Amino acid sequence: MALRRQSVVLGVLLAPVTLFLGIFFLLPLCIIAVFSFLTPGLYGGVEWTFYHWNYGRIFGWADGFIEIFEPVYLQILWRSLSFAALTVILTLILCYPVAFWVSRLSDRWRLVFLFLITLPFFSSLIVRLYAWLLILKPTGLLNTVLLNIGLISEPLEILYTPAAVVLGMVYVMVPFMFLPLYASVDTLDRAQIEASLDLGANRVQTFLKVVLPQTLPGIIGGAVIVFIPSVGNFVVPDVLGGAKGLMIGNLVEQQFLSSRNWPFGSALSMIIMAVVLTVLMVSVRRAKKVGGHA
């Protein structure tokens, strides 16, 4: 009796979120999945006939007549993945030592620092990226300073290069990497580090055998949280990227807005999702394997 009542209560409590996710997340997802197998309409929209060339265009079985296989799509996908991976690596390198430093601060300064880390969320992403545009452009802050102190003789071409895109993504993603890392570093048992040193492990051994495994859940968590939005990111390459910094997210955006090829855009979206899901599953499995915590 009590059990049934509990499940009724649970059902009532879960209904709103289930309904919300069902209507605004699952349903659109299904629509995208279906669209990716439909014929593009002449002036946008779809025609309800089965069509597999959307994927063919990307993976290479296009007929070369109606749809042409172009390796550029796979190249852009590969570029997006490598940009995202690079972003993960760079944010990790930036945040890992800082997490240790912050966890050793006094309570007061730690709070100040954590507030500073979340400060960027208080202003618009677009505004912050335009600030980078102003810094990086040939007559911008960076070049002016470097020219004036004589470090360079002509302005660096950073803006609208892949470097600018990765820089922008690292900037945007730093808080997302830092917070999970900090959480795992902060709960690290200092006594275990001492135990390791006491048992004859030098600092490198202690890091590899105790510190790294214990903070790995935080590293994996941060990596996943940074990687997923990075792969599909289109705002950063849009503002800082130019042609060579184009990522798959921009491609999707173009298909839906300017090219009006909804099915092709849907197919690209499905591919992003497949990649992201694979990464997620592999890392969750990995985290489970190492995270046998006491």
Partner 1 sequence: MAPLLEIRDARRTFLTPEGGRLAALDGVSLSVEANEFVTLLGPSGCGKTTLLRAISGFEALDSGTMVLDGADLSALPPFRRPVNTVFQSYALFGHMTVARNVGYALEVAGVAKSQREVQVAEVLEKVGLAGLGARRPGQLSGGQRQRVALARSIIAKPRLLLLDEPLSALDRNLRQQMQLELKSLQHALGIAFIFVTHDQEEALTMSDWIVVMRAGKIEQIGTPREIYRQPKNRFVAEFIGETNLFPVTVDRVEGGDALARTADGVELRLPVLGRKAGEQVTAILRPADFTLGPTGIPGRVSRAVYLGSDLYLFVQPQAGGPEIRVIARDNQDAREGSAVHLSHDPARVHVLEAG
Binding site for partner 1 (CB under 8 A): 189, 191-192, 194-203, 205-206, 209-210, 213-214, 290-294
CB of 182 to partner 1, least distance (A): 19
Min. distance of Cβ 292 from partner 1 in angstroms?
A: 6
Report phi then psi at 36, rounded to 5: -65, -15
Instruction: Answer positive or negative: Cα dihedral of 84, 87, 93, 96.
Output: negative
Q: Which C-beta is closer to partner 1: that of 111 or that of 195? A: 195
The Cα 246–Cα 234 span in angstroms is 8
Pick the closer one to partner 1 by CB: 196 or 269.
196
Cβ nearer to partner 1, comparing 244 with 286: 286
Smallest gap, in angstroms, from Cβ of residue 205 to partner 1? 5
Nearest distance in Å: CB 291, partner 1 = 8
* Residue 161 backbone zone (phi > 0: left; psi -120 to 50: alpha; other: beta): beta
Closest approach of Cβ 214 to partner 1, in Å?
6
Evaluate whether 123 touches 206 at the Cβ level (below 8 Å). no
Q: Between residues 202 and 258, which has the closer beta carbon with respect to partner 1?
A: 202
Q: Which is nearer to partner 1, 148 or 202 (CB)?
A: 202
Q: Which residues contact 220 (CB under 8 A, 6 or more apart)?
A: 283, 286, 287
